[in-house]
Amino acid sequence: MSDERELLAGTVTELLTDHCGSDRVAAADGGWDEALWGHLERAGLTGIGIGEEAGGSGGDLADAAVVARLCASFAAPVPIAPTLLLAPWLRTAAGLGHRAGPAAVAGEPGVTAVRGAGGWTLRGMARAVPWGRCATGVLVLVSTAEGLALVDADEAVVEPGVNAAGEPADTLRFDGIRVPDEMVRPVTTDLLEELRLRRALATTVMLAGALDRVLELTRRYVGERVQFGKPISSFQLVKQKVAVLAGEAAVAGAAADAAVLAVAEGSTDAAPAVLAARVRAARSATAATAIAHQLHGALGFTREHRLQHFTRRLWVWRDEGGTEGGFQEELGRVLAERGAADFWPTVVRAGT
């Protein structure tokens, strides 16, 4: 990490240590922590990766990923992933200006827009939109008579929903909502495809962050928990399981970093890199949560223990924006189309 990035990581860690303890995470279950968002915003951390000229705090995608990953490692109940990793890129790609405040992105086109005098009228709904209720502006993909468009919507009717991790996943209804012309931009289906990959990237970064914490919690717990008169970490089987957990966290972290770099640099092999990292991080989530719960015993299976803040998120995030099997198959199709002779060259080109 560059010195600046390390400084950034230190700032974020300090802020989250002060304002995102497990009591705060527990209290925000089913909703979000507006006070924490305020702290992040005042520190300029919700504008990382957005140019200063556009009203952001500067930095690049890799910096934004550092902030998001650390937030995930504290199970921060705030819409950091859409705000830092999805919305700024999507706005730029569609030609919409930057907009401060928490963001949400409704990616599946289930909403239509009809042009009228002086603006557009929306109809339809988007379901299970992550952090939908928190957003000051929702980016909605809509179908129009001319094709796809991206709408920057100020308002929507929110029907609150919650995912298994206790995070907002709301239904947003847009029936009759009117938006001015300048908030609607035509987009191509390619952008929809890119958005799917961006979501996969954002999810990967978040998975890596939660995995970091699951390893740390487990490492500490097995050293403290005494059975048969000694810490359970003195048992070979326990050591072996923690070692496997460490590998799962490390490989997911390395994959996430490499995928971020591939996207940040506009690599022509960013798609296989992101898909590979997404698949590998989901696999780590499955392996790591199983080991962590096994080693935490009944205590880790309770609401009271902090472990569930991370394992529930890992379980939800690994299925977000597509299935693990679907991503594997999609990646396999890319490789099959390139052919066997390009298999190894793709491993290399998609890497750092």
Partner 1 sequence: MVLALPPTRLPESAESLRAEVRQFLTEQDFVPGVDTWLSSFDPEFSRRLGERGWLGMTWPKRYGGHERSALERFVVIEELLAAGAPVAAHWVADRQSAPSLLRFGTEGQRQKLVPAIARGECYFAIGMSEPDSGSDLASVRTKATRDGDGWRLDGTKVWTSGAHHCHYMIALCRTGPDRHGGLTQFVVDLAAPGVQIRPIELLTGEHHFNEVVLDNVYVPGDQLLGTEGDGWKQVTSELANERSGPERILSTAQLLIELARYAETARDTRTLATLGGLFAQMWSIRQLSLRVAGALDRGASVEVEAALVKDLGTRFEQEVVDAVRVVLAGNVDPDGRAAALLTHAVLHSPGFTLRGGTTEILGVIVARGLGL
Residues that bind partner 1 (CB under 8 A): 1, 73, 212, 215-216, 219, 222-223, 233, 236, 238-240, 242-244, 246-247, 249-255, 257-258, 261, 272-273, 275-280, 283, 325, 327-336, 339-340, 343-344, 346-348, 350-352
45 versus 222: smaller Cβ distance to partner 1: 222
50 versus 279: smaller Cβ distance to partner 1: 279
E strand map for the chain = 103-116, 119-130, 137-144, 147-153, 157-159, 169-173, 178-179, 184-186, 226-227, 230-231
Closest by CA to 174, choosing from 148, 202, 151, is 151
162 versus 251: smaller Cβ distance to partner 1: 251
Closest by CA to 269, choosing from 162, 351, 177, 149, is 351
In angstroms, give the least distance from the CB of 202 to partner 1. 17
Q: From CA 4, how far away is CA 102, in angstroms rounded?
A: 25
Q: From CA 73, how far away is CA 302, in angstroms rounded?
A: 19
Q: From CA 300, how far away is CA 318, in angstroms rounded?
A: 20
42 versus 333: smaller Cβ distance to partner 1: 333
In angstroms, give the least distance from the CB of 214 to partner 1. 11
Q: How far is CA 41 from CA 66, 277, 314, in A?
A: 16, 29, 25
26 versus 250: smaller Cβ distance to partner 1: 250
Q: How far is CA 46 from CA 51, 55, 133, in A?
A: 12, 11, 17
122 versus 275: smaller Cβ distance to partner 1: 275
In angstroms, give the least distance from the CB of 273 to partner 1. 7
In angstroms, give the least distance from the CB of 76 to partner 1. 16
Q: 179: how many CB neighbours lie within 10 A of its CB?
A: 20
Q: From CA 126, how far away is CA 177, in angstroms rounded?
A: 13
Residue type, 173: R
162 versus 334: smaller Cβ distance to partner 1: 334
In angstroms, give the least distance from the CB of 256 to partner 1. 9
Q: Residue 226: phi, psi to the nearest 5?
A: -105, 130
In angstroms, give the least distance from the CB of 261 to partner 1. 6
In sequence order, which residues have a C-beta less than 8 Å from that of residue 196 and are 6 or more positions away? 107, 321, 322
In angstroms, give the least distance from the CB of 234 to partner 1. 8
39 versus 278: smaller Cβ distance to partner 1: 278
In angstroms, give the least distance from the CB of 323 to partner 1. 10
User: What count of residues does the chain have?
Assistant: 352
Q: Residue 265: phi, psi to the nearest 5?
A: -90, 0
